[in-house]
Structure 1
Amino acid sequence: MNEDRQAIAAFLEMLAAEAGAARNTLLAYERDLRGASELLGGRLVMAGVDALSGLGAEWMDLKRATVARKSAALRRFYAFLQDEGYRTDDPSTALPRPVSERALPKILDHQAVDALFAELARQKAEISGTGPVRLIALMELLYGSGLRATELVSLPRAAISPDKPFLILKGKGGKERLVPISDRARAAVAEWSAFVPRDSLWLFPSGKSHLSRVRLYQLIKALAANAGIPPERVSPHVLRHAFATHLLEGGADLRALQMLLGHADIATTQIYTHVDSRRLVELVNSRHPLVDVRAKRT
């Protein structure tokens, strides 16, 4: 058991130092590795193929996504053990490789998004007070820049400047990314900022802190209901998905989209490639280099 603890500690130190893994990632790896060590009686480091096959059997009742995560953690751990000379072989081939079914993100079509912004315009024209002004600023940043809910509600008061079409945002894992801010969003934020106290720490203050994620969800779902859209179809995260999908449909590069969304892995961004198959066919027929050749021959 002591050998396992030392090896796991060294592995986590490597992840933090070389891979820049976030704290939550390190905790997840540690939990999975310690759990596997306990199941193997403290012989995780020296476990053979048979032992890992038995470990896979112990996981049979778990969800496929959980098994996939645990297997991935152990495979990376054994690769580390090989690199560091703890062992000369890699028994992780015996670990299960369940095929995870990743659900496609919920999205809104352009018609639904138009309905949401039409409802915002109606509220601003008919309802007095700052509520509609704030909601417009929130919506413009959600759909116009693809911000996560937590990133949005915790924006500092001076984060968005009227003369800068971008902001530097620190997202998941403390990683910074460049977030473009549209002219519409900057105008909406400028209008809302006039109502925010100058000494406020937050762009969207509420009480002694900032607007909560729960309240943001409530506001968005109420907006959807008023726009005639089932509230369960709309959330801050769905608007982020719509931002990504509509950009991709408009011809955005997948790598650029990865940077805009702050995804560490391009595989996470690739889930947005579920665009209309008809559009893909049209794209091939109109943009493929052989199209010009065929046209010249006819």
Structure 2
Amino acid sequence: MTDRARIEAFLEMMSAERGSSTNTLDAYGRDLLDASEYCGGALCDADGSDISGWLQDLSRRGMAPSSQARKLSAVRRFFRFLFEEGDRKDDPTAKVDGPKPSRDVPDVLSREEMAALLAACADDLRLTCLVEMLYGAGLRATELVSLKLGELPRRKGDRWITTDVIVRGKGGKERLCPLGRPALDALSNWLSIRETYLPEGSLARGRAEGFVFPSRGKSGHLTRRRLGQLLESLAHSANIRPDRVHPHALRHAYATHLLMGGADLRSVQTLLGHADIATTQIYTHVLTDELAELLETAHPLAQKS
């Protein structure tokens, strides 16, 4: 059986048995096809040296260690699948060392910059709501744009009686994300005009009416691409470099500002939906840098030097 056929079978298994999202399956497919191309279409027959050579090729192409590690993870899962299906008697990735993880600290938007972004979109109720929910709940882009009305906090009249959003994250895992007062107010304001954004035509309207952020597109909801475009335009309006303002940047700001405010790491891990606390720990390096700077400027001995 060809690489492509086995890759398709693997993706079908990940979808049916693991509940992997469309985005995850697309990423796995791209990663495996890239590895297959490097191996001349013979990934299924590759050995450890082939996989190591592929990783070296990724490095030569300038790929970040974190991206290499993600691609290697996809290949490891693929060979585990081949082994379980009886197509391989070994796992060639077992002795392959992964790239050393990067400890790059996210470029985090400051509180002042977040205030500038919110001020710049104050007259746009939809954009204000999008920003408040990215920054006020730490949602991923996909989680936000695909949010459904039934997943919002419950209301009685104009009053919110709960504050938690039900979010379905990576791998279909469900978590509760509490919204603060600014986000709830922004959500109320957006819902008051949301119907004006519903598309005309029964088919398009039927696709869109269940989503918090409806759209005329095939998905029925605002796309991640359009969300990125809106934030890029907002960055220009707030005089902030556009490459620093994207959905994940607002999620970074949410996590970092929580920690700066005294939240513990485990709580932030839960709120972000991180499976591994090591993923959350990257934000502590931002705090370490801030504390070091504080020591340099505020400690009596530093002031004497």
Distance 1:261 1:235 in 2: 17
- Residues 115-194 of structure 1: matches in 2 within 5 Å? 115-120=116-121, 123-124=122-123, 132-158=124-150, 159-161=152-154, 162-194=160-192
Residues 213-270 of structure 1 show CA distances to partners (whole Å, capped at 9, x for unaligned) of: 2332232222222222222221122111100111122222222222211222323222
* Aligned: 1:261 with 2:272: yes
Give the CA deviation at 1:176.
0.7
Asked if the contact 1:109/1:242 (under 8 Å) is kept, the reply is: yes
Distance 2:15 2:215 in 1: 38
* Aligned: 1:277 with 2:288: yes
Distance 1:245 1:255 in 2: 13
Q: Secondary structure at the match of 1:222?
A: helix
Q: Which has the larger radius of gyration?
A: 1
Question: 1:232 maps to which residue?
Answer: 243
Residues 90-116 of structure 1 show CA distances to partners (whole Å, capped at 9, x for unaligned) of: 875642433243643331011111222
Distance 1:218 1:31 in 2: 26
* % identical aligned pairs: 45
**Alpha-carbon spacing, 1:24–1:236, altered in 2? closer, same or farther (3 Å):** closer
Equivalent residue letter for 1:246: H
Distance 2:281 2:73 in 1: 20
Residues 93-145 of structure 1 show CA distances to partners (whole Å, capped at 9, x for unaligned) of: 6424332436433310111112222334xx43xxxxxxx22222222111100
Equivalent residue letter for 2:100: V
**Range that drifts further, 175-184 or 75-84:** 75-84
**Alpha-carbon spacing, 1:184–1:67, altered in 2? closer, same or farther (3 Å):** closer
Q: Secondary structure at the match of 1:263?
A: coil
**Alpha-carbon spacing, 1:53–1:112, altered in 2? closer, same or farther (3 Å):** same
2:57 to 49, 55, 61: 61
Q: Secondary structure at the match of 1:202?
A: coil
- Residues 7-86 of structure 1: matches in 2 within 5 Å? 28=28, 32=32, 35=36, 51-53=47-49, 55-57=51-53, 59-63=55-59, 65=65, 68-69=69-70, 71-72=72-73
Question: 1:99 maps to which residue?
Answer: 100
Question: 1:291 maps to which residue?
Answer: none
Give the CA deviation at 1:35.
4.0
Equivalent residue letter for 2:275: A
Give the CA deviation at 1:39.
6.9
Give the CA deviation at 1:82.
9.5
Normalising by structure 2, what TM-score?
0.66
5+ residue gaps, structure 1: 125-131, 284-298
**Alpha-carbon spacing, 1:226–1:57, altered in 2? closer, same or farther (3 Å):** closer
Question: 1:203 maps to which residue?
Answer: 212
Distance 2:153 2:269 in 1: 22
Distance 2:19 2:48 in 1: 28
Distance 1:267 1:205 in 2: 35
Equivalent residue letter for 1:184: P
Question: 2:262 maps to which residue?
Answer: 251
Residues 141-198 of structure 1 show CA distances to partners (whole Å, capped at 9, x for unaligned) of: 1110011222222222352432211021112221111111112211221122111229
Distance 2:221 2:117 in 1: 24
Aligned length: 266
Normalising by structure 1, what TM-score?
0.67
Distance 2:129 2:262 in 1: 26
* Aligned: 1:222 with 2:223: no
* Aligned: 1:212 with 2:223: yes
Q: Secondary structure at the match of 1:168?
A: strand
Asked if the contact 1:225/1:231 (under 8 Å) is kept, the reply is: yes
Give the CA deviation at 1:75.
5.8
Distance 2:210 2:78 in 1: 43
